[in-house]
Amino acid sequence: MFSSNPFAELSATISPGIMQTYVVIMILLVAGGTLIDMLHKQSARYFFDNWRKVKDKGAKQVGAGQMVSLAVQTAAVEVITSAEFCNQQRRVAHLLTMYGFLAYVITTFIMVFWYPTPAAATPAILPTLWTLGALSVCVGGYWFWFFIRADVAAEGSSPIRVMRADLFILSLLASVTLGLIWAFLQSVGGGAGAGVFLWLYVIATTVLFGSVSWSKFSHMFYKPAAALQRRVEEANETRRNLPPPADKPATFGDPRELPHHY
């Protein structure tokens, strides 16, 4: 399982062209779903309007060089290391899920398009990364679902309580878990059982990538933009008159403007 390309083995019964077409459809569903979500919620318009307001109201101007620096900081802190999470357990779970998902998706794409048949001789590192990535998603995702969610950890709600906001994490966990089971059964000659889990895997994956407009999938594209906007606001001092965060109490001498009625 760690050394065999499950998609190359599947090519004995399903044409590589069908698998490749399916992957392309999933990519189009994510792109289209994100676009529909942006149009429905007017997210792009909100960001551009707010960006313009920040630029006009800022006490300082942010130059091109500083903007690049802020973008690099955003990528390093909010994207690569997820340092915005104050809860360390939530941060670790998020990183396991994020990097596992990236490894899982990227290796899937490479194996389906570059090594779709056994004759293509898939490098052993690819199925290994695919399996490890899927396992990482399971560890981070199930850890979050059963132990870290706010309504479970803080409010004592049942871990099986499901809401619309849970569509992304549940479909992700279903897709990855079913994919692992299918790959394992196929590697040991599971026969009909492998076929059943293959179709369950396809259904769960279709729900994952086809429900972008209704799930939190598209939030992964919004969060970096929102984080960059916050850094720009801090750089041009638009946020200088906002109260300090709850975990950072005000200190004596902090600058404050007088209320407007003075």
Instruction: Tell me whether residue 130 is in a domain.
Output: yes
What does the mean pLDDT of the chain come to? Answer: 80
Instruction: Tell me whether residue 250 is in a domain.
Output: no
Place of tokens 């009909």: 192
What residues contact 94, with CB distance under 8 A and at least 6 apart? 82, 85, 140, 144
Instruction: Tell me whether residue 245 is in a domain.
Output: no
Instruction: Tell me whether residue 252 is in a domain.
Output: no
Higher pLDDT, 22 or 54: 22
- Percent of the chain at pLDDT > 90 equals 44
Contact 133, 179 (CB under 8 A): no
DSSP secondary structure string for all residues of 40-87 = HHTHHHHHHHHHHHHHHH-SS---HHHHHHHHHHHIIIIIIS-TT-SS
Neighbour tally for 6: CB within 10 Å: 24
Q: Quick one: average pLDDT of 46-65? A: 64
Q: Quick one: average pLDDT of 30-35? A: 86
What is the tens place of the pLDDT at every residue in 184-207? 999 998 788 999 999 999 999 999
What whole-number distance in Å separates Cα of residue 156 and Cα of residue 143? 16
Neighbour tally for 35: CB within 10 Å: 14
What whole-number distance in Å separates Cα of residue 73 and Cα of residue 80? 10
Q: What's the CATH number where 104 sits?
A: 1.20.950
DSSP secondary structure string for all residues of 112-162 = HHH--SGGG---THHHHHHHHHHHHHHHHHHHIIIII-HHHHTT---TT--
Domain range for 206 is 6-235
Instruction: Tell me whether residue 33 is in a domain.
Output: yes
The DSSP 8-state label assigned to residue 107 in this structure reads H
Instruction: Tell me whether residue 210 is in a domain.
Output: yes
Contact 103, 150 (CB under 8 A): no
Contact 201, 179 (CB under 8 A): yes
User: What is the phi-psi region of residue 113: left when phi exceeds 0, alpha when psi lies from -120 to 50, beta otherwise?
Assistant: alpha
Q: Quick one: average pLDDT of 26-40? A: 84
The DSSP 8-state label assigned to residue 244 in this structure reads P
Q: Give the pLDDT band of residue 136 (cuts 50, 70, 90).
A: very high
Q: Give the pLDDT band of residue 252 (cuts 50, 70, 90).
A: very low
Q: Give the pLDDT band of residue 181 (cuts 50, 70, 90).
A: very high
Instruction: Tell me whether residue 241 is in a domain.
Output: no
Place of tokens 């909100």: 46
- Model pLDDT, residue 33: 85
Count of structural domains, the chain = 1
Contact 96, 136 (CB under 8 A): yes
- Model pLDDT, residue 191: 83
